[in-house]
């Protein structure tokens, strides 16, 4: 049985002080009405990590970063290492988000190196894959995603399934309000699970596979009811506390 995970991705929104107020209010909401049986995580900008760490420490909400350097240390101006993230209390790190692949030319090879750095620092990488709209229109979405998965994951060696999370996020659905149909999302997450099995055997089969792309309170329950969808990577809707909680509660009702 895989515990669903609702992972927020705040992208480049909010200030650190807004985030601390938000997180305290979230914990109050959770104290009065806990979301049991669902793991929660928030992936916030780097500047928010240190102020949020003492608020989220020892709570049900994992503190997450949105990127990491593949380098351990050195002359890499502007980069933040896995050890630095770990040191301030980060537990999960998104790597290979489509916005980084598109805006910063991140290759599968670099995503793999980042995921390895995160695992070596004893944190959990949330490795993102997903096809462009033109690739789906051309019927190439399965090939594209399988290649991304192999290129971004082969060589990692998770000893346990909870050391890795994969997010299938069709790029055309991210931030657009256009969600994949539950059947299409399920098919791609099932394919992802097959590749995880090919790469990591039984451990891979137990790795959580998230769907991402315009998940909202209104579509979450149907998506999370699919056999191979273990929760969501949620961008825009995770900035609104009520939406984030409603999405988490939709995962609970399917758990
Ligand atoms: C994301 O940021 O990964 C994402 C899926 O965004 P949104 O939910 O806004 O589409």
The answer on pLDDT for 131 being more than 90 is: yes
Assign 255 a pLDDT band (cuts: 50, 70, 90).
Answer: low
pLDDT of residue 1: 81
Residue 187 or residue 252, greater confidence: 187
Residue range(s) defining the domain that contains residue 128: 5-253
pTM of full prediction above 0.95: yes
3-state helix/strand/coil string of the chain: CCCCEEEEECCCCCCHHHHHHHHHHHHHHHHHCCCCCCEEEEEECHHHHHHHHHHHCCCCEEEEECCCCCCCCCCCCCCCCHHHHHHCCCCEEEECCHHHHHHCCCCHHHHHHHHHHHHHCCCEEEEEECCCHHHHHCCCHHHHHHHHHHHHHECECCCCHHHCEEEECCHHHCCCCCCCCHHHHHHHHHHHHHHHHHHHHHHHHCCEEEEECCCCHHHHHHHHCCCCCCEEEECHHHHCHHHHHHHHHHHHHHC
Tokens of 90: 């980060």
- Residues within 6 Å of ligand 1 by CB: 9, 11, 169, 174-175, 212-215, 233-237
pLDDT of residue 253: 66
Tell me the CATH number at 73: 3.20.20.70
* Nearest in space to 66 (alpha carbons), one of 135, 114, 130: 114
Distance 213 CA to ligand 1 centre (A): 5
Tell me the mean pLDDT in the region 186-208: 97
Q: Which pLDDT tens digit goes with each residue over 14-66?
A: 999 999 999 999 999 999 999 999 999 999 999 999 999 999 999 999 999 99
Residues 94, 126 contacting (CB under 8 angstroms): yes
Instruction: From 169, 180, 211, give the residue whose CB has the most ligand 1 atoms within 8 Å, as the site to mutate.
Output: 169
Catalytic option among 99, 131, 135, 169: 169
Tell me the mean pLDDT in the region 201-224: 97
Residue 129 CB contacts under 8 Å (≥ 6 apart), including other chains: 96, 145, 148, 149, 152, 166, 167, 168, 169, 192
Q: Which pLDDT tens digit goes with each residue over 71-127?
A: 999 999 999 999 999 999 999 999 999 999 999 999 999 999 999 999 999 999 999
Known catalytic membership, residue 97: yes
Q: How many domains does the chain divide into?
A: 1
């Amino acid at each position: 049985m895989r515990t669903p995970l609702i992972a927020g991705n705040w992208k480049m929104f909010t200030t650190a002080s807004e985030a601390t107020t938000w997180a305290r209010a979230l914990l109050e909401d959770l104290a009065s009405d806990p979301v049991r049986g669902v793991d929660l995580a928030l992936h916030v900008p780097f500047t928010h990590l240190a102020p949020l760490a003492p608020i989220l420490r020892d709570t049900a909400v994992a503190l997450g970063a949105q990127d990491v350097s593949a380098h351990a240390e050195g002359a890499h101006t502007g980069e933040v290492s896995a050890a630095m993230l770990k040191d301030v209390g980060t537990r999960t790190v998104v790597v290979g988000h489509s916005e980084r692949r598109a805006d910063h030319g991140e290759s599968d090879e670099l995503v793999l190196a980042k995921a390895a750095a995160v695992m070596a620092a004893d944190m959990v990488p949330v490795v993102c894959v997903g096809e462009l709209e033109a690739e789906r229109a051309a019927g190439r979405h399965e090939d594209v995603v399988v290649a991304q998965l192999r290129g971004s994951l082969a060589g990692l060696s998770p000893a346990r399934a909870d050391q890795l999370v994969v997010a299938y996020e069709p790029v055309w659905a991210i931030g657009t309000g256009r969600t994949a149909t539950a059947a299409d999302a399920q098919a791609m997450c099932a394919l992802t699970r097959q590749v995880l099995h090919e790469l990591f055997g039984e451990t891979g089969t137990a790795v959580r596979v998230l769907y991402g792309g315009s998940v909202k309170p209104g579509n979450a329950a149907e998506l999370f009811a699919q056999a191979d969808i273990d929760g969501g990577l949620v961008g825009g809707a995770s900035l609104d506390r009520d939406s984030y909680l409603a999405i988490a509660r939709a995962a609970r009702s399917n758990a």
